[in-house]
Chain A
Amino acid sequence: MSTTHVRPGYFRKNGIPYSANVRMTEFWDLFTDPSGTQRIMITQQIEDPEYLYRTWITTYNFKKEPDASKWDPTPCSSRW
């Protein structure tokens, strides 16, 4: 997955920024773990000519919930 044309924002809540020129490439891998639960591993490559010296590479993983009962997004906040 390739993402461009984003508005400037923050990588982290502590103020580390990204610019409008940031480019993100993602690889999504889906697995079924030994308990039968589905998990997604997301590998990200992020390039930002304004705020990053080199490509930032990292991974995240998510566990699939059986239903949406825990889906409860909250308003964003830039305060601690």
Chain B
Amino acid sequence: MIKFRIFTITNIIVLLGTLLTSGPAFAQIDLSGVWGFVRGQYGQENAGGSDIGDFTGIPINDEGRAVGLSFSAAQWSEPERQCQYYSPRYVSTGPFALNVWSDTDPVTGRIVAWNMGAWIDKDIVTVWMDGRPHPSVNAFHPYSGFATGTWEGDTLVIRTTHIKWSVLRINGLQHSDRATMTQYIVRHGDLLSMLTYFEDPVYLSEPFVLSSVWQLNPKANSSRTSPACEPINESPRLENTSIVPHYLPGKNPFANDYARYYNLPLEAAQGGAQTMYPEFRKKLKDVYHYVPPEKCTRYCCDSPDPAVKCIRDGSGQVR
């Protein structure tokens, strides 16, 4: 009887020990599947696109602002840019479904990597889960960057380095190849939420933090690899193909359009870390009073008021 009790107690200790030491395997949440893009958040970002000169709420420094204001959308007419990938940061605001799958070690069954599928303009991102170190800072920067992941409770924490210089916002803001990114991914049933913490010592004065969400949708249009890209002009063909379209400092004729359309203070429109925080309103309180535009001059279509003419842009022309 005593031997039986000792045997049972020993078994329980062994079982508890096994459960406790195998914690990380149980802690992993299955993230695999096709996650549909939930349209609404960042709608302006990936529908009409952000306005030229709208840098509100983005912690750019003076260099970041200068680069943004030098941007000419005619750059997209250059054939060499028409198939250019965005960086992995694009996942937080891009308009596509997210295809997630794992690579498994065939012997141990452990997950070696999580993959976030490509889009037509974004590379596959492989998130290594096997504890490998990040390469030398001088190593090659691929479009995917180099990403490693660890589980902190039920949160997958991804650290990405070796990011290529790329677009921070489609209206001309850029990030440098010294940027790094930390992402926190949490699954809540059929929702996948991601907090992106993006740092760039060259063009940002503070981290740029965004949250995004996807919903499980096996029918979402998604592929794991990027389809072959064929350069196509989506904007007017360049008249002078010997230059890179740009504006010299102080020469961008559209720099103040966004502030003017919405009667906003230029200081707010031009962004910077201070514009991220609610207390910025207090700074403007005594010097700025919002006055609605006298008449709609932009995005005026679909109004039930027949007196409002359909004007789709800032040209003032009925279209």
> Which A residues lie at the B interface, using CB under 8 A?
27, 29, 31, 33-35, 39, 41-43, 45, 56-61, 63, 70, 72, 80
Contacts and interface: CB of A to CB of B under 8 A. Distances in A.
Given A56-B40, A61-B195, 13 more contacts: A31-B184, A31-B195, A39-B195, A41-B184, A41-B186, A42-B211, A43-B211, A59-B193, A59-B212, A59-B213, A70-B278, A70-B279, A80-B292
Contact of A59 (B211, B290, B292): B211
A58 B188 CA distance: 13
B209 A29 contact: no
B213 A61 contact: no
B195 A29 contact: yes
Contact of B211 (A33, A34, A35, A61): A61
A57 B292 contact: no
Interface of B: 38, 40-41, 155, 182, 184, 186, 188, 191, 193, 195, 197, 199, 207, 209-213, 215, 278-279, 290, 292
Contacts of B195: 29, 31, 39, 41, 61
Contact of B193 (A33, A34, A43, A63): A43
18 contacts: A31-B155, A33-B197, A33-B207, A34-B182, A34-B199, A41-B186, A43-B191, A43-B193, A43-B213, A56-B40, A58-B38, A59-B211, A60-B211, A61-B195, A61-B210, A61-B211, A63-B209, A80-B292
Contact of A43 (B188, B207, B278): B188
A77 to B, nearest CB: 11
Contacts of B212: 59
A19 to B, nearest CB: 19
Q: 3 smallest A-B Cβ distances: which pairs?
A: A59-B211, A61-B211, A27-B188
A33 B213 contact: no
A57 B184 contact: no
Contacts of B191: 27, 43, 45, 57
Nearest to B282: A72
A27 B186 contact: yes
B46 to A, nearest CB: 15
A58 B210 CA distance: 12
Contact of A41 (B199, B211, B278): B211
Contact of B41 (A35, A41, A59, A72): A59
Contacts of B290: 80
A46 to B, nearest CB: 10
B40 A41 contact: no
A42 B212 CA distance: 10
Contacts of B155: 29, 31
Given A27-B193, A39-B209, A59-B212, A33 B186 contact: no
B215 A57 contact: yes
Select the residue from A27, A41, A56 with max chain B CB neighbours within 10 A. A41
Given A43-B188, A57-B215, A70-B279, A35 B207 contact: yes
A34 to B, nearest CB: 6
Contacts of B211: 41-43, 59-61
Contacts of A31: 155, 184, 195
Nearest to A59: B211
A39 B40 CA distance: 23
A36 B195 CA distance: 15
B218 to A, nearest CB: 17
A29 B186 contact: yes
Contacts of B182: 33-34
B95 to A, nearest CB: 15
B213 A58 contact: yes
B40 to A, nearest CB: 6
Contacts of B184: 29, 31, 41
